[in-house]
Amino acid sequence: MVSAGLLDATVQGLITGAVIAGGALGLSLIYDIAEVPNFAHGDMITVGAYLALVFNNPAAIPFLPAFGSVPFALAAVLGVALAGGLGAAYELAIFRKFRHRDADLITMVIVSLGLALVLRNAVLFLVGSKNIQYRTQSVVTTDFDFLLTRGGVTVVTTQRRAGELVTTGEWGYPWWLVVAGLLAAVGVGYAIFALYREEEDFTTVYLVPPRILGAAGSVATVLLVGAFVRLGPQGTDYVLGTRIGLNVKHITILAVVVAAMFVLNVLLKTTDLGRAMRATADNTDLAEVRGVDADRVQLVVWVVAAMLAALAGILTGWFATNLTPNMGFALLLPIFAAVILGGISSPYGAVAGAMIIGLSMDVGVYLIPGSSTYRVAIAFVILIGVLLVRPDGIWGDV
């Protein structure tokens, strides 16, 4: 029987990284523009998850009257919208007042810690400490067994139905096709990268940087070849085998985070508001001289960051299958690590840093048996190692 191995740990690391990336996007925005290392961001992740629960599973919240639930997707949208309103409230009531008094960094950190305690204890008081779940449809995980034989690679897909493992598909790729597909992927990726780099000058602003487009082109080529060029099984007498488990939940989380990253980058790079946000991040005083309403920019930043935090919380609760009052706080250190590792000034950097943190956590646990307790510590070892080589993070400003 084939068991999960390094490849599955890598895939799970990417999913973990996507969950972390949802929180890292909002924290990066606040850190870069508002210049506040917001320690309440983790607890805002928790609050956002519970706001969606209010609409999706109100019976799980003791003080709420009995009323009907709404589908999970709609509850997620409503929860994100409410979180944006909450972000506006604590910006106007708390952070703006301290900012107008020219509070120093330490004061703002203490204020954010105080807000974190208020949010966390509010959840504990109103909901309690028990684990709660969203009301969602169960998802079926498909296991992909990759068997490396002398003739090529055989793929066998299985699902567990009624307690039994059922084979749902079997196909293969001879070695010549594997090599040809990989070479084609490298060629397509490099061609896309080179095409976009040819048009670059000092005024070029990329919605998607050439290296991201190139990597996406390579991955898309591999997936297209794998999906549409399927030959017969290449045998089951394998030399090496591994298993990957995937379901709709995993793919949805990755897609939502990638979409959020792209939308945020479009906002920052193509809109007047985005340009005002970037100008404020560079020099607030100079931006105000040029007519930028810094208070309006700060309000938008806190609203967007709160909405992204809520999105991260909802994805986390769905991915982990339960909600707890400490779920956001547990993610705070990996999120900070992702933001610092990726480089503060770019959504792509935040996501890239989150992916590295997620991979180091899950792959590290696989490579070092019995190290699950030290998942976050492993990630911070990677963080320190990378920062010794690239102090500004792996991405920088793109």
- Does 362 reside within a domain? yes
**Residues 254 and 117 both lie in one domain:** yes
118 and 149 both lie in a single domain:
no
Note whether residue 155 is domain-resident. Answer: yes
The answer to whether residue 396 sits within a structural domain is: no
DSSP notation for 236-251? S--SEEEEEEE-HHHH
Domain assignment present for residue 394? The answer is no
Q: Residue 32 and residue 344: Cα distance in Å, rounded?
A: 6
Instruction: Dig out the tokens for 367 from the structure.
Output: 């490579």
- Per-residue pLDDT, 119: 94
Number of separate helices (H) and strands (E) present in the chain: 14, 4
Residues of the chain with pLDDT > 90: what percent? 28
CA–CA gap between residue 184 and residue 322 (Å, rounded): 42
pLDDT digits (tens, 9 = 90+) for 369-393: 776 677 778 778 887 887 788 777 7
Q: Rounded to whole angstroms, how far apart are CA atoms 314 and 331? A: 13
Q: Given 3-state DSSP classes, what are the helix, strand and coil percentages for the chain, each rounded to the nearest 5?
A: 65, 10, 25
Give the count of domains, the chain: 2
Is the model's pLDDT at 198 over the cut of 70? Answer: no
Based on the fold, state whether residues 115 and 22 are members of the same structural domain. yes
* Residue 254 and residue 376 in one domain: yes
Q: What is the pTM of this model?
A: 0.88
Query: Which pLDDT tens digit goes with each residue over 310-331?
Result: 999 999 999 888 888 999 988 8
* Complete DSSP assignment for 318-344: HHHS-B-TTHHHHHHHHHHHHHHHH-T
Question: 174 - beta bridge partners?
Answer: 152
Domain identity same for 288 and 362: yes
How many CA atoms lie less than 13 Å away from 244 in the CB half-sphere?
17
Residues 172 and 285 grouped into a single domain: no
CA distance 317 to 69: 17
Closest CA relative to residue 281, chosen from 202, 341, 344: 344
* 398 has a pLDDT exceeding 50: no
Partner residues linked to 303 by β-bridges? none
Residue 271 domain flag? yes
Q: What confidence tier does 200 reach under pLDDT thresholds 50, 70, 90?
A: low
Q: Are residues 39 and 157 in the same domain?
A: no
Domain boundary residue, one of 188, 217, 244: 244
Q: Are residues 111 and 42 in the same domain?
A: yes
- 211-268 per-position pLDDT tens digit: 888 888 999 999 898 888 888 887 767 788 888 888 888 899 999 998 998 888 888 8
Q: Do residues 268 and 147 both lie within one domain?
A: no
Residue 397 lies in a domain: no
Least confident of 134-143, 338-347, 386-395: 386-395
Q: Above 60 in pLDDT, residue 396?
A: no
Note down the domain range covering 203: 142-244
**How many Cα atoms occupy the beta-carbon half-sphere of 268 within 13 Å?**
28
